[in-house]
Structure 1
Amino acid sequence: MHLVNKFILILLAGITMSCQSGKIEKDPNLISVSILPQKYFIERIAGDDFKVNVLIPPGASPATYEPTPMQMKDVAKSIAYLRIGYIPFETVWLDNLLEGTDGIKLIDLSKDIELIKGQEKHGDHFHEGGIDPHIWSSLKSVKILSKNLYQELIKMAPEKKDIYEKNYQQFLSEIEELDQVAEASLSNKKGMSFMIFHPALTYLARDYNLNQISVEMDGKEPSPTHMKHLVEEAQRLSIKHVFVQKQFNVENAKAIVAEINGDVVVIDPLAEDWLTEMKRIITILKD
């Protein structure tokens, strides 16, 4: 993150807010979140009762995205900010987004999830304390996240408790059904290795005893030496797919699959239709 760019954005946001007449008026139905799957989770439980301000738009990376002044203003109008946990965007920007805001509640949806710490030196190099942030790639973790979310939503709209309870239980049953399918279909794949450019499936790999091999090294593109090692590993382990998140460059993955006679598989764990994408990823892994 370039400090000058960050300062300019914060300055522009301050000018935008100060140009408004008086104090920024709260929108009692507006919630701000970091990533699109959070919007999906909220809508599965609360329907359209809340407007959801998603900071990181489709196709953008949580490692590099910079909020616009208008987005910063919308955060100030929100009654709550639901952080996903430890993504680089939140590590870098959250203090600035919340500075000077009045009456906004900060909620960490990663509460009670067993976080993966310090197991790999890779990926989003702004991790707090070496925490892997990709909790939404795990059905088991999203069960806990959804419970945290449900409890917060009924605090915001206690009169809707019965409706939210019913919606939450329905959503939970769908997650549990897919989790059972994954347990059954991946039970004979324990220890299986898969290769991915950016290590976005760490929690899913833990859930089903799979081995994730990251192409990235410390959040950077691999060196020629590491690329050679990756090709040798893929050949040794009979890996034919290299997963690439939609938000990342596919060129290094293409170079690997050209050597192993495989293919690049584009995935999008940050898709708004989270459950459908999780079903697709699990189907690919079991085939």
Structure 2
Amino acid sequence: MKMNTKTSGAIVRAFMIAMLAAAISLLSACGKSSNGAVTGKVNVVTSFYPLYFLANEIGGEDAHVVNLIPAGVEPHDWTPKSRDLITVGDAQLFLYNGAGLEGWLDDFLHGLDSSGKTLTVEASKGIALIQGNPEEENHEEEHEAHGDSDVDPHTWVSPKSALVMAKNVLDAFIQADAVHRSGYEERYASLEAKLAKLDDQFETGLSALPNKNIVVSHQAFGYLARDYGLNQVAIMGLSPEAEPRSQDLLKVVEFVKEHKVKVIFFEELVSDRLAKTLASEAKVETMVLNPLEGLTPQQEKAGDDFITIMERNLQNLRQALQ
């Protein structure tokens, strides 16, 4: 049968519309909307990796978790974009560390829809915060890097603090999505057991070591030091990009020599130049002590997570403090 051009065009348009409808149907079946939110699950956004880990562990199959900061990016160097505001605004739950870590937080929260669709939760709530920055007078720029340079924001580096944060995340999930409470509580119990085991490993693994001084590139291990009887000496302050003065560097070298420190620790997401220079000057080794502010792409690919990296931190500490 011969068709005219008008009839043929109508058939083509009808076919394209049918194909588009099928594609939309397929996307709906997969559960994803155009903005990345997933229907049928609680949509959660986290401000950085440790919270992403806790939220994934507790949320499980009932949650869709998105982390704002990509792998390999140091949180101190990151600021949100307008698309991040949209992502958080479309979520039911936004988890942030607090304690001054997210210097951009106040302006960001003010930019959210005032209708209050997104529940915002400070994960560090309830942790006894470490007040005061002993290097503050040398690092005035930290006021910009952190909301409040008088508070150490690096709560998560201690398993004891991570246990508190995990409970806060559980409570947030239950508040945002009470229907799946039993699933959240079951997965939280499993996570709590892992973190409690990690806490015990740090307690027993560090308590009997003869040396307690750790020299680190970035003052990120205050909670770890407080909770497990260590003494932290930092090359740089609370913000890893703060530049120390030459006299401060000399004091660190003198401390290393005087106290027979064997290792200077550096971290992977910031430059190791200063740590390696001082280690060379003091004739000691360098090792990684990871503050877990984020994973590298290589760590992501290898399947590393908060637990495996903290276990590696413990191994390195034990080796350095023998």
CA distance in 2, matches of 1:81, 1:46: 13
Which residue of the partner structure matches residue 12 of structure 2?
Answer: none
2:89 aligned with 1:69: no
- Which of residues 83, 99, 109 in structure 2 aligns to 1:86? 99
- Which of residues 116, 134, 146 in structure 2 aligns to 1:120? 134
Give the aligned residue type for 1:159: V
Where structure 1 has 5 or more consecutive residues not aligned to the other structure, the ranges are 1-23
CA contact (8 A) 2:174 2:180 kept: yes
Which residue of the partner structure matches residue 306 of structure 2?
Answer: 274
CA distance in 1, matches of 2:93, 2:238: 33
CA contact (8 A) 2:133 2:237 kept: no
Q: Deviations over 1:184-230 (max 9, x none)?
A: 11112377111111111110111111001010147422222221111
When normalised by structure 2's length, the TM-score is 0.75
Total equivalences in the alignment: 263
Change (3 A) 1:218 1:42: closer
Change (3 A) 1:92 1:241: same
Change (3 A) 1:48 1:68: farther
Q: Deviations over 1:86-109 (max 9, x none)?
A: 244x22244235414242211111
CA distance in 2, matches of 1:275, 1:27: 27
2:273 aligned with 1:251: yes
Q: Deviations over 1:51-90 (max 9, x none)?
A: 22212222222222122332222122112211111244x2
Aligned ranges 1:99-248 → 2 under 5 Å: 99-101=111-113, 102=115, 103-122=117-136, 124-125=142-143, 126-128=146-148, 130-189=150-209, 192-217=212-237, 219=239, 220-248=242-270
SS in 2 for 1:196: strand
Which residue of the partner structure matches residue 31 of structure 2?
Answer: none
Where structure 2 has 5 or more consecutive residues not aligned to the other structure, the ranges are 1-34, 296-304
Change (3 A) 1:218 1:145: closer
CA distance in 1, matches of 2:124, 2:275: 31
Give the aligned residue type for 1:110: S
Give the aligned residue type for 1:283: Q
Which residue of the partner structure matches residue 60 of structure 1?
Answer: 73
Q: CA RMSD in A?
A: 2.3
Q: Which region of structure 1 is more displaced relative to structure 2, 182-191 or 129-138? A: 182-191
CA distance in 2, matches of 1:200, 1:58: 19
SS in 1 for 2:266: strand
Superposition deviation, residue 254 in structure 1: 1.0
CA distance in 2, matches of 1:217, 1:158: 41
Larger radius of gyration between Structure 1 and Structure 2: 2
SS in 1 for 2:270: coil
When normalised by structure 1's length, the TM-score is 0.83
SS in 1 for 2:208: helix
CA contact (8 A) 1:27 1:79 kept: no
CA distance in 2, matches of 1:70, 1:208: 40
Which residue of the partner structure matches residue 22 of structure 2?
Answer: none
CA contact (8 A) 2:99 2:129 kept: no
Give the aligned residue type for 2:150: G
CA contact (8 A) 2:57 2:191 kept: yes
Change (3 A) 1:258 1:177: same
